[in-house]
Structure 1
Amino acid sequence: MVSYQKFARDVGFIGTVQVLTSLGTFFLLPIITKTLGTYDYGLWAQINITVSLVSSLALMGLSMGFVRFLSSETEKKIIKEAVYSILFFVTISGFVASLLLYIFAEPLANFGFKDPEATYFIQAGSALILLSVIESISLFYFRVFRQIKKFSYFTLFETFGKLFFILILLEMGYGLLGVILATLIVQSFILLISLVIIVSQIGFFIPRFTHIKEYLQFSLPLTPSALVRWVTESSDRYLITYFLGLGSVGVYSAAYSIGNLIQLFASPLQLILLPELSKLFDENKIDQVRIYLSHSLRYFLLVTIPAVFGLSAFAKPLLGIFTTQDFLSGWLVIPIIALSGLLAGIFQIFVNIMFLVKETKSATYINIIAAISNVLLNFLLIPSIGIIGAALSTLISYFLMIVLCIYISMKHFMFDYYYYDIAKSIFSSFAMYLFVSCFVISNIYELFGVAAMGAFVYIFVMFIIGGFSKCELSAVKRYTRPRL
């Protein structure tokens, strides 16, 4: 029970951090969109997804191997060997990947971006790959060894550091290059500080790569999975560029970034759940594994279901307030991507079961099926209904993923899904949606005010229909009771 309470506190802490980082993202969106416009913002989105693709390939799935093999490790010698062997390995692979993107920037700009002038910006952004892969592993160190506060502080600094430097460089007239430079500066600083902390905790060590083969045997099957996940999540930007141009990519990406805020509710679980489950599974505490999965799914849905309804109700006001009129045509993308984010979160909870039993090939096959369906649907829908087609393709692909993932996972673990509580949450969320839809919102103050009232309506209806357990209500009373 104590362990679960600590798990819940860590998730709550990470959740708070995610809310703060999301606010930072909200403030960053209008700064970039209103300064760069749809075309340059689309170019920045393309660079971002290209970096994410190449970075995931350069990592070779080793970040997940890091989590799976070291979550329950206590021997310092083994930890040092693992940490530095993985760090050295991804540094080399990240450097090679960055170099290749720099070399092939011109053909990518011509054929992938349909803009030869994008070559310069792609080359500038190629260094982000090297920084991203090393930063990913160094931050995973804090996640694996449950140093949640340090991990959270780095996350906060990355968001608000980018906000600060991007604002300065845009004011200085650097445009898109300033956005890239600001990202490089912040990631370099985070990488430096995180490595200093790691060395101070475990010392410096020249690795012998003793277990790297074992790590790669687990991780390499996840590399195609990362590739096909990228196809499912991001390849639509390239297809929108091909059919509609970079301006449409800018509109779609702005709406997608708002709809994808639903992921902030999944992130705390993704960061903490697998290390905790791995430890319990290795200790053969299967009943506790079921409890963690069951509670994680329930609380995730109790929060994300109303969030999806809320983002759907606020779709137009959000785009109108945080971007310009040029982006407003993409408002319908927001509810579709929000629902996709909810499905993605469910998938992230269930796929942990495959990682625990080391059935990573099944996860890869699921992602391949989703990726193929996504590409085919994009080719079919984008020419006919534009960026809405891209959003629908993502939604259908995620639906396929969770159906297959739940089917396979249930062969290994069965746990309580709390169907009645989920139904009550949907009912309360719909009541909230009807309430907030009555308001006309024209500025950020009205937005937050109506959102607060909507949250109150959801909680009130849930309370009336018995959507919260007695344990949850007593916990609220305990933490909200005035202390004398």
Structure 2
Amino acid sequence: MENQYSRKIVSGAFFVFLFGVLGAFVGYLLRFILTSNLSPEDYGLYYSCLSLIGLFVLFEDFGLNSSLIYHISKFRVEKKFKKLKTSIFTVFLIQLFPALIVSIIIFFSARFFAINYLHLSENILKGVLVIKLLAIAYFVQIFHTLILSILQGFQRIKLYSFVNFCRMLFYFTITWLFISLNFSVISPVLGFLISYLFIILIFSPFALKLIPKAKICFSKKLTKKIIFYAFPIMFSSMAGLIIGYTDTILITLFRGLPEVGIYQTAQPTARLLWFFAGAFTTVLFPLITELKTKNINFLANGIYLLYKYIWIVIIPFALMAFSFSRDILNLFFGPFYSSGADVLKILAIGAIFFSVVQINGVVLNGMGKPKNYTKIIYLGAIINVIGNIILIPIIGITGAAVSTMLTYIIMFFFSFVELRKFIKVKIPVLKWSETLIAGFVSLLSIYFIKN
């Protein structure tokens, strides 16, 4: 039985990682095309608008997608197919109307945001159009997210990974097409919107086939269960959005669009390091729920092995990003964006700690303890916002990176405090120390050779 689940985790993680890396490569090509064809101001404008829209995702998700994945996994094991099907449609209906209302509000407030958030005095119409198109994409996203939640809940991990890769491929291709037609900053917006529409049309039949042929029986009891599980996740999602987007938003407000452009080349480069842990967490979430439902207790050993090897894998890549940060940014984005080298160095260190936070978070959620993960995320959000407000006006994008790194380190320690309340996992302190020392020696060698 243990071998069966180990194979599931390794096989699923391999496909998530493979398509994740391919998708990241396509995403990198997309940014390369954007930085080559757009001015730093337009590049910064697009990502400032994306960050703004990203903050409103809470009002479309409400933590319900994680709740849906949890309940699909649970009801599959218990063979309660009526409840399973009802859960899917309950989540969809709860999300539909708030998403539509928020989308309409953003659409008709586009001019307000263009003037007061983007600080546009000229080309206001350009900013307004970008925000309006992204408002439409905001609503369309709920159908895309529902498809992914169904695939993940039913543990169709290979198809789940392929869907994400295809969306990035469509996003890149459509953006490149519109750039060649001189649509300027509108190009990535159209690529973003149309890629979601294509994915929904192509993959919704696959998701619908997985839904069992059973009667839908809406009930207050089931709806309460779904919402009560989602409620703490909603708050952790809110805090996660704050951590993910406030740096870009505050850079926009305090420093301007060109610095947003620089930050938005260094930050996604550092986030490539998230794929190593992310590949496992995507597979782990529904599996942990299944293991908990079946009362299978070899979870602690599996988590220990993940801890043991995740740093061995991630640290060499983090050191490469740290050592060659300026060269990487200069190679892919040009001399102007290489000034984000210090940001990339700092965020690469932060990514090492965040890899473990990802694992601990998904274990807590999968065990049905989302409230405990919410505490960790909220602590991180508070530290991140305070750090950004203090540091960004003083040292700009470097301050945003320092604030984010400190947030990840503090979350790293507190995630163990919360997890060990429910499962006595071993922490491979010796192995981590050896890896860090070896990495530090390698780093000194690289600097010696470079000099």
Aligned to 2:418: 408
How far apart are the structure 2 equivalents of 1:246 and 1:100? 24
Shift of 1:399: 1.7
How far apart are the structure 2 equivalents of 1:284 and 1:158? 37
Q: Alpha carbons of 1:125 and 1:246: their partners in 2 closer, same or farther (altered >3 Å)?
A: same
One of 86, 89, 92 as aligned partner of 2:91: 86
- 1:74-96 deviations in Å (ceiling 9; x for gaps): 23322221122222322223222
Shift of 1:215: 0.6
Aligned to 2:192: 183
How far apart are the structure 1 equivalents of 2:22 and 2:449? 26
How far apart are the structure 2 equivalents of 1:413 and 1:330? 40
Does 1:136 find its partner at 2:145?
yes
Does 1:48 find its partner at 2:58?
no
Aligned to 1:444: none
* One-letter code aligned to 2:140: L
Aligned to 1:469: none
Q: Alpha carbons of 1:236 and 1:276: their partners in 2 closer, same or farther (altered >3 Å)?
A: same
Shift of 1:386: 1.4
Aligned to 1:396: 406
One of 267, 284, 291 as aligned partner of 1:280: 291
Contact 1:61 1:223 in 2 (8 A): yes
Shift of 1:102: 0.8
One of 368, 378, 382 as aligned partner of 2:388: 378
Shift of 1:391: 0.4
Q: Alpha carbons of 1:416 and 1:128: their partners in 2 closer, same or farther (altered >3 Å)?
A: same
Q: Alpha carbons of 1:426 and 1:169: their partners in 2 closer, same or farther (altered >3 Å)?
A: same
Matches within 5 A, 1:76-475: 76-115=81-120, 117=124, 118-202=127-211, 207-210=216-219, 211-286=222-297, 288-434=298-444, 436-437=446-447
Shift of 1:198: 2.0
How far apart are the structure 1 equivalents of 2:61 and 2:218? 16
Structure 1 stretch displaced more, 93-102 or 247-256: 93-102
Shift of 1:435: 5.2
Aligned to 1:445: none
Structure 1 stretch displaced more, 324-333 or 112-121: 112-121
SS where residue 348 of structure 2 aligns?
helix
Aligned to 1:458: none
Q: Alpha carbons of 1:384 and 1:201: their partners in 2 closer, same or farther (altered >3 Å)?
A: closer
* One-letter code aligned to 1:317: D
Contact 1:311 1:335 in 2 (8 A): yes
Contact 2:106 2:132 in 1 (8 A): yes
Contact 1:261 1:338 in 2 (8 A): no
How far apart are the structure 2 equivalents of 1:112 and 1:412? 44
> TM-score, length-normalised on structure 2?
0.92
How far apart are the structure 2 equivalents of 1:205 and 1:185? 33
Contact 1:85 1:207 in 2 (8 A): no
Contact 1:138 1:195 in 2 (8 A): yes
Aligned to 1:21: 23
SS where residue 423 of structure 2 aligns?
coil
Shift of 1:362: 3.0
SS where residue 140 of structure 1 aligns?
helix
Aligned to 1:480: none
One of 4, 7, 10 as aligned partner of 1:5: 7
Q: Alpha carbons of 1:357 and 1:160: their partners in 2 closer, same or farther (altered >3 Å)?
A: closer
Contact 2:71 2:84 in 1 (8 A): no
Q: Alpha carbons of 1:199 and 1:68: their partners in 2 closer, same or farther (altered >3 Å)?
A: closer
One of 60, 63, 67 as aligned partner of 1:61: 63
Aligned to 1:454: none
- 1:89-128 deviations in Å (ceiling 9; x for gaps): 2222322221121122222222222226222210111112
Shift of 1:132: 1.9
Quote the RMSD (CA, aligned, Å): 2.1
Shift of 1:204: 7.7
SS where residue 368 of structure 2 aligns?
coil
- 1:286-336 deviations in Å (ceiling 9; x for gaps): 2x1112211222222221111211111121111101112221211110121
* One-letter code aligned to 1:380: I
How far apart are the structure 2 equivalents of 1:437 and 1:171? 41
Q: Alpha carbons of 1:369 and 1:418: their partners in 2 closer, same or farther (altered >3 Å)?
A: closer
SS where residue 317 of structure 1 aligns?
helix
* One-letter code aligned to 1:191: I
- 1:142-182 deviations in Å (ceiling 9; x for gaps): 11211122112112211122111111111110111111111
How far apart are the structure 1 equivalents of 2:18 and 2:441? 26
Identical aligned residues as a percent: 22
For structure 1, the residue ranges without an aligned partner over 5 or more in a row are: 441-484
How far apart are the structure 2 equivalents of 1:10 and 1:30? 30
* One-letter code aligned to 2:29: F
SS where residue 49 of structure 1 aligns?
helix
Contact 1:85 1:208 in 2 (8 A): no
Shift of 1:235: 0.3
How far apart are the structure 2 equivalents of 1:340 and 1:233? 13
Count matched residues: 440
How far apart are the structure 2 equivalents of 1:364 and 1:103? 33
Contact 2:250 2:389 in 1 (8 A): yes
